[in-house]
Amino acid sequence: MKDIVMRLYDEVLNQGKLDVVDEIFAPTFTGTGPARPGPEGIKQLSEHIRSTLTEPHFDVQDMVAEGDKVATRWVLQGTHSGAFFGLPATNRPVEVRACVIFRIENNQIAEFWPVIDTSSLRAA
C-alpha cells in the first residue's frame, strides 16, 4: 500500500506524470481538502500546485500503514510563483507541511483526509 501512495508523491506531484493518476486512484475517489472527487480532481490539484510553485518537491518524512490506511507526513518546498493557499506570489522559496491519511481499496486510493498546516507556509 505504501508504494501506491509514494507513486502519488514521486510520480504525480513531484514529476507531473498525470497519466499515473488513473492507475492509482479509484474512479470513485473522494476526499476532504482541496481535491475535487475522482481522478480528474487529483489531476487538477497537481496542475494547480505545479502552476503556483516552481519546481515543487514533496519530501515524505514519515509513512505508516495499518489495515487499509496509509498515513504520511510531508514537507512541500518550491518557489512561490503564483497564488498559493490564497497568498499572492512572492517569487521566494516557501515550504508547507501536512499530514494526510489515505484509504486504499483494490490497490487504489479511494479516499484521503489531508491536514495542511497553512501556518507553516513561510519563506524557506
Per-residue pLDDT of the chain (124 residues; tens, 9 = 90+): 999 999 999 999 999 999 999 999 999 998 776 667 799 999 999 999 999 999 999 999 999 999 999 999 999 999 999 987 678 888 989 888 999 999 999 999 999 999 988 776 665 5
Q: What is the pLDDT of residue 86?
A: 76
User: Model pTM greater than 0.85?
Assistant: yes
φ/ψ of residue 11, rounded to 5:
-85, -45
Beta strands in 1-124 (DSSP E): 25-31, 53-66, 69-80, 93-105, 108-123
Q: What is the pLDDT of residue 12?
A: 97
Lay out the sheet containing 69-80: strands in order across: 25-31, 108-123, 93-105, 69-80, 53-66
Cα dihedral across residues 19, 29, 3, 9: positive or negative:
positive
Q: What is the pLDDT of residue 32?
A: 73
Query: Would you call 9 helix, strand, or coil by DSSP?
Result: helix
pLDDT score, position 59: 98
Q: Are residues 57 and 74 in contact, defined by beta-carbon separation less than 8 angstroms?
A: no
